[in-house]
Amino acid sequence: MMLASAGSAVLAGCGGGGGSSDSQAAGKSSATANSTTSTSTSPSASSASAASGASASNATDSNSAGDATQPSNTGSSDTSSQASGASDGLFYGINGHMAWGSGIYQTMPAAAQLAILQDLGVTNYRCDIADGGMATTLANALKGPFANSGVSILPVFNPLSAHWDPHSSEADAYALGYDLAVRCTRPLKGLVKYIECGNELDVDLKIAGDGSSTADWDPACWPSFRGALRGMIDGVRAIDPSIQCGVNVGIPMAYRALQMLWNGISPDGTTQGVSGAASLRWDFTSYHWYKSSGDIQCGGRNNACVDVLQVLKESFNVPIWLTEWGWSGANDTPQSAAAYTGKALKQYRSIKDKYNIQSIMMYAVMDKNYGLMQLDGVTKNPAYAVFKDFIAANPV
C-alpha cells in the first residue's frame, strides 16, 4: 500500500505481470521527500557480498533448489531471545505517513498523531521515508512527543521514491540502497530498534503465476531487486548494527521471492532457478496481506490452501511482522470494513504465538479508502471503534 507512484513508469518495463488481481499495492500518493544533501560512500557490491549474510552465517539454507511450499525448519537458529517478541509492546501497530511533505500527515503535528495512536491503544507506528530529511522528521518526533510515550516508530525505506531503477545493475542498485540506508539511519541511530528495508519492490517483477514459483519472477530485473535490498541492509548495519532489519514483499503468494533471496537463488525461467548469488539475511520477515487475498492460513489459487505463515516460519525461523493488513479499500462498505477489522484482529491475536508473529500493523490510521479515519483527521470510520475496543479487551 505504501508503494510510491514515483517508480511505476520505470517498473512497467520489467514485465509487470503482477496485475491488480495479484498485487495488494494500490496507487497511493507519492511521498514528498524533504531532501538533504548528505552523502555516503558505499562499499563495492562485490566486496560486500558476504556481508549481507554475515549476521546469520551459522544458518543452514533451505530450499536451495527448486520450488517448495512447506520447507524444512532450517533458517537462522538463534531466535530464542526473539520468541517472546510478540508481547514486548510491538504487537498492535498501524501505518501512517508522518514524514510526507503534504496532506494531513504534514499538517497534523506529531503530538496530535500520537494522541490518536494512544487513543487506539497502538504501540507501533510504521512510517515510510525516502531520504535523510524524512528520517529527521521521524527522529524529531521520537525525541519530542513520542519520547517515553510507549509508542515506537518503524521506519520503512522507500527506494522507489529515491529513484531506484530495476533495470540497473546489481552493483548500482546496491550503491543506491546502501546510500539511502546510511542517510536515513544516521538521524535515527539510538532512537529505533527496527527498520524495514524496502516496500513491495517485488510487485512488478512478477511475470507469471502467483509468485509462489521461481519461474514466476523476471530474470532481467532480479539482480537490481536483490542489490537494492542487500545495500539497504548493509547500510543500516554500517551505521548501527544493533538495529534489526526486515524485508517484505507485496504480492500475496510471493514467499518464494523471499526464499530465493535468502538462499541466493536467481530466476532463469525454470522452476529450479540458478544458485550461487549473494544471499540475504534479515532479522524479521515482513509480509503484507489484505482481505482481497483471502485467508493467510489457507491462501493461493485453485484451492491450494497454503499456510503462508507456516511457510514463512519454517523458511526463515525469525519473527514475522505483518506490516500491512486491511480491508479491500473502496470495495468495502464502512460496515464490512469494520467487520473484517474485528475478524482479522481476532485471528492474528489467536495465532501470534503459533507463528511467532511479533507485530501486526494495519493500513492505515488516516486514508480515504483504507483508513480508520478520513483524511480530515477528524471523521472516524466504524472500524475505528472496533479496532480500539478489541485492543482494550485483548492486551498483549
Say if residue 45's pLDDT is above 80.
Answer: no
Angle separating helix axes 334-355 and 308-316, nearest 10 degrees: 40
pTM of the model: 0.85
Q: How far is CA 42 from CA 85, 108, 122, 245, in A?
A: 32, 36, 36, 18
pLDDT one-digit tens code per residue, 87-111: 468 999 999 999 999 999 999 999 9
Q: Residue 145's CB: how many other CB atoms inside 10 A?
A: 17
Angle separating helix axes 255-263 and 308-316, nearest 10 degrees: 10
How much is the pLDDT for 41?
Answer: 57
- Of the pLDDT bands very low, low, confident and very high (cuts 50, 70, 90), residue 66 is low
Portion of the chain with pLDDT greater than 70, in percent: 78
Q: How far is CA 339 from CA 243, 326, 343, 378, in A?
A: 36, 11, 6, 21
How much is the pLDDT for 299?
Answer: 95
Q: What is the C-alpha separation between 343 and 327, in angstroms, rounded?
A: 11
Q: What is the C-alpha separation between 203 and 370, in angstroms, rounded?
A: 20
Q: Indicate the CATH number for domain 5-31+84-393.
A: 3.20.20.80
Per-residue exposure over 356-382, b if at least 16 CB sit within 10 Å of its own CB, e if not? bbbbbbbbbbbbebbbbbeeebeeebb
- Of the pLDDT bands very low, low, confident and very high (cuts 50, 70, 90), residue 28 is very low
Q: What is the C-alpha separation between 143 and 146, in angstroms, rounded?
A: 7
Q: What is the C-alpha separation between 175 and 40, in angstroms, rounded?
A: 9
3-state secondary structure of 116: helix
Q: What is the C-alpha separation between 27 and 30, in angstroms, rounded?
A: 9
Domain boundaries, the chain: 5-31+84-393
pLDDT one-digit tens code per residue, 159-198: 999 999 999 999 999 999 999 999 999 999 999 999 999 9
pLDDT one-digit tens code per residue, 305-325: 999 999 999 999 999 999 999
